[in-house]
Structure 1
Amino acid sequence: MEMSVTQAQSDMRQGYYSGATGILASSLAWFVAAGFAALASPPQAVWALLIGGMFIHPVGLLLCRLLGSRGSHEKGNPLGLLAGASTFWLIFCLPVAYLLSLWQPALFFPAMLLVIGGRYLVFATIYGMRLYWVLGLVLAGAGFALAVLKASVFAGALAGAVLEAVFAIACVVQHRRFAAIMPARERRSQH
């Protein structure tokens, strides 16, 4: 039996803590990059985010399990394929952002905010949560504003870190609300 879109989204929310742990892991990578921007050099900050980005998914899964989610979705959930496709899109954009950093290091972080913001828009469908529309548009808007204002590498990295940390907290709160109302919905649907 095929899952409905609503069932698939519910499964993704339950399996991945509504994506909150991934946002939090991403925020940590951005904070590390901001540290490198402040204490080392722009190229090291760029590499810190690129390398840290490779750990977002495993750290997010670890956090899922620590918080009681399974860190996976049910076999046959079609939204798992959408999540995978959006990951490839993100990876395909990384060389463009990196090449941009070779030309103008301060543009790397705004470019990454635009790319990651675009990916979060896909998460609105994956998780069935409007929060991801807001997160995606806020990150993209911040990326654009930072580029126009010619913000420093540190400001770009710190903006990404802080914005994702704030949205990670908002996502945790929303996930807990979903989790609290889900048992009541399931009981009503069984009658």
Structure 2
Amino acid sequence: MNEAALTSQAPDIARAQADMRTAYWHAAFGVLSSALVWAVAAGVTALGQPQQAVWTLLIGGMFIFPLSMVMAKLAGRTGMHEKSNPLGRLAMLSTVGLLVGCALALGVATQKLEWFFPTMLLVIGLRYLVFTKVYGLCIYWSCGLALATAGLVLGLLLAAPSSELKAAGPLLGAATGAVIEALFGALLLRQGRARAR
């Protein structure tokens, strides 16, 4: 593909990214909904039920997109991108990757329950790197890398944990996901509000 063809595609990609940002308010509501699911999972873990917290995160995750759509609509956005937007397909493909990652994390949990949340931090962090292209926002690099790094660090800590750290691992992992996503969700919400003015 020659340089002229690449240059002609750039405005199309920029328009597609703008459509995604406008429809979903930079995906801020999706990130905030995800933070809420992480927080509920942390709460379940704090009640001494880490196995149920695994299912809380997985089942709760199925409601993130519908909840974010409702929130976007309440905020005056469409909550749906244009059907012709090619980045919608990329976002869908990233969802397939997410589902595969969830299955992997569930498999890991059957062997070492404390590694489930670090694995999910990695999986979701890697998905957010795709959002850099989908939304055209560099903040998703920071969000994705923060989640993935937290997952790696927590995984390393839990590789040979003390009994206390092993017991606290699920709560630490779920709480970490909640805090990171709440922080970036708030930043995205603010960024979307600023661009809407």
Superposition TM-score, scaled by structure 2 size = 0.88
Q: Distance in 2 between matches of 1:54 and 1:80?
A: 18
**Counterpart in the other structure of 2:196:** 179
Q: Which amino acid in structure 2 is aligned with residue 118 of structure 1?
A: L
Query: What pairs up with 1:25-40 in 2 under 5 angstroms?
Result: 25-40=33-48
Percent of aligned pairs sharing the same letter: 47
Q: 2:30 aligns with which of 16, 22, 30?
A: 22
Deviations along 1:101-157, whole A, 9 cap, x unmatched? 111111000000000000000000010000000000000000011111125100000
Structure 1 residue 94, shift from structure 2 partner: 1.2
Q: Which amino acid in structure 2 is aligned with residue 29 of structure 1?
A: V
Q: Which amino acid in structure 1 is aligned with residue 173 of structure 2?
A: G
Determine whether 1:146 maps to 2:163: no
**3-12 or 49-58, which deviates more:** 3-12
- Unpaired segments of 5 or more residues in structure 2? 1-8, 159-164
Determine whether 1:162 maps to 2:179: yes
Determine whether 1:116 maps to 2:128: no
Q: 2:80 aligns with which of 72, 75, 79?
A: 72
Structure 1 residue 177, shift from structure 2 partner: 2.0
Structure 1 residue 70, shift from structure 2 partner: 0.6
Runs of 4+ in 1 over 3 A off after TM superposition: none
**Counterpart in the other structure of 2:57:** 49
The RMSD of aligned alpha carbons is 1.2
| Alignment coverage as a number of residue pairs | 179
Q: Distance in 1 between matches of 2:25 and 2:54?
A: 29
- Unpaired segments of 5 or more residues in structure 1? 181-191
Q: Which amino acid in structure 2 is aligned with residue 164 of structure 1?
A: E
**Counterpart in the other structure of 2:108:** 100
